[in-house]
């Protein structure tokens, strides 16, 4: 019998200074991974509209954010991806592309890696293991080989190489309902195996805890593992991680331009709250970033937030205590 979950609510927290916009450009993806919290896939058609993109450009021009973090789905599959990147880089923003690596070998994207290098885009690439069997089990047959090919293509352009200025980060997430191992030790293992087996270099490994929502959450429920995993997240809660959770400095923007405290809240349809500023409207939108600050704004939290504070902590930038 599973233990009863501790019903202590996640602590109330507030925003600090806004530093990054994470834009979910599209739910369309050339893959359909088991752990995907977005439920992305080849048949999804949602994509950021021209109206929202115009507002995004205005926010980039007017707001003192320094990072544009592009995600999806496969963000590169948005038809105006390159325009967005070029505009942000011209304005001096750090741009991160959340790349699944296999997109680099898809028909029509053969010159994508060269474009990313030319623009100085930071590539954060999914590679949940350095083992072919583990990767293909989680992401589909042939994904590992395509990912290795993508990494070699990026390395050839200078990514991950000392002195190039082209950052290549890899993302690890566990295969099932467990916490990631210590990030530094796993990064050393990744670097040794990928260099010895494939001659691949990269800068950093980011360990991310699986969120008990969407496709992964449904898998947990179907296997009778959901309550046990939630108990693990609660039991592993570390209050010192609260100060550096990503929702304090990042805003997630969906394909329609609506705002959320993080990408996970976006998937759960828990919009960012602006207290008394939303007159006649139910949800905050990109246009709300054109006037007024989010500093001190209360963050919307639920039980899934324990995934970000468990153990070494977890964010889009990897472990919090690394």
Which one-letter DSSP state was computed for residue 2?
P
Residue 244 binned pLDDT confidence (cut-offs 50, 70, 90): very high
Residue 64 neighbours by CB under 8 Å, 6+ apart: none
Which pLDDT tens digit goes with each residue over 147-188? 999 999 999 999 999 999 999 999 998 888 999 999 999 999
Instruction: Determine which of 73-82, 107-116, 119-128, 141-150 has the lowest per-residue pLDDT on average.
Output: 141-150
pLDDT in the model for residue 108: 93
Phi/psi for 124 (5° steps) reads -115, 110
115 pLDDT exceeds 80?
yes
Which pLDDT tens digit goes with each residue over 229-238? 999 999 999 9
Annotation: CATH topology of 20-225+244-295: TIM Barrel (3.20.20)
What is the residue extent of each domain of the chain? 20-225+244-295
pLDDT in the model for residue 291: 81
Q: Counting Cβ atoms within 10 Å, is residue 311 exposed (0-12), middle (13-18) or buried (19+)?
A: buried
Coil, strand or helix: which one is 66? Answer: coil
End-to-end CA distance of the chain: 35
Handedness of CA 190, 192, 193, 197 (dihedral sign): positive
Which pLDDT tens digit goes with each residue over 250-279? 999 999 999 999 999 998 999 998 876 665
223 pLDDT exceeds 80?
yes
Which one-letter DSSP state was computed for residue 151?
H
4 pLDDT exceeds 70?
no
What's the chain's average pLDDT?
89
DSSP character string of 164-178: S---EEEEE--SSSS
pLDDT in the model for residue 175: 80
For the chain, percent of residues with pLDDT exceeding 70? 89
State the Cα–Cα distance between residues 163 and 92, nearest whole angstrom.
20
pLDDT in the model for residue 72: 84
30 pLDDT exceeds 90?
no
pLDDT in the model for residue 3: 39
5 pLDDT exceeds 50?
no
Which pLDDT tens digit goes with each residue over 37-68? 566 677 788 899 999 999 999 999 988 899 99
**Composition of the chain by helix, strand, coil, percent to 5:** 40, 15, 45
pLDDT in the model for residue 306: 96
């Amino acid at each position: 019998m599973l233990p009863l979950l501790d019903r202590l609510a996640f602590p109330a927290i507030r925003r600090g200074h806004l530093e990054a916009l994470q834009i979910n450009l599209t739910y369309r993806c050339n893959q359909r991974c088991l752990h995907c919290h977005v439920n992305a896939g080849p048949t999804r058609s949602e994509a950021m509209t021209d109206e929202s993109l115009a507002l995004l450009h205005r926010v980039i021009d007017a707001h003192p954010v320094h990072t544009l973090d592009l995600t999806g789905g496969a963000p590169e599959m948005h038809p105006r991806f390159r325009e967005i990147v070029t505009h942000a880089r011209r304005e001096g923003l750090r741009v991160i592309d959340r790349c699944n690596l296999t997109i680099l070998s898809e028909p029509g994207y053969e010159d994508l890696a060269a474009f990313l290098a030319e623009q100085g885009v930071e590539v954060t690439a999914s590679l949940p293991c350095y083992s072919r069997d583990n990767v293909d089990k989680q992401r589909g047959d042939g994904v590992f080989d395509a990912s290795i090919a993508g990494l070699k293509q990026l390395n050839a352009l200078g990514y991950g190489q000392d002195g190039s200025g082209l950052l290549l980060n890899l993302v690890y997430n566990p295969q099932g309902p467990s916490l990631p191992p210590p990030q530094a030790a796993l990064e050393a293992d990744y670097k040794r195996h990928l260099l010895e087996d494939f001659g691949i270099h990269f800068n950093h490994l980011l360990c991310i805890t699986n969120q008990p929502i969407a496709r992964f959450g449904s898998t947990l429920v179907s296997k009778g593992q959901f309550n046990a995993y939630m108990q693990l997240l609660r039991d592993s809660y570390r209050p010192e991680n609260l100060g550096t959770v990503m929702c304090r400095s990042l805003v997630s923007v969906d394909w329609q331009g609506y705002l959320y405290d993080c990408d996970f809240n976006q998937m759960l349809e828990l919009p960012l709250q602006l207290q008394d500023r939303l007159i006649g409207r139910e949800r905050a939108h990109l246009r709300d970033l054109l006037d007024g600050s989010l500093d001190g704004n209360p963050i919307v939290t639920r039980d899934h937030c324990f995934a970000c504070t468990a153990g070494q902590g977890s964010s889009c930038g990897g472990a919090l205590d690394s």
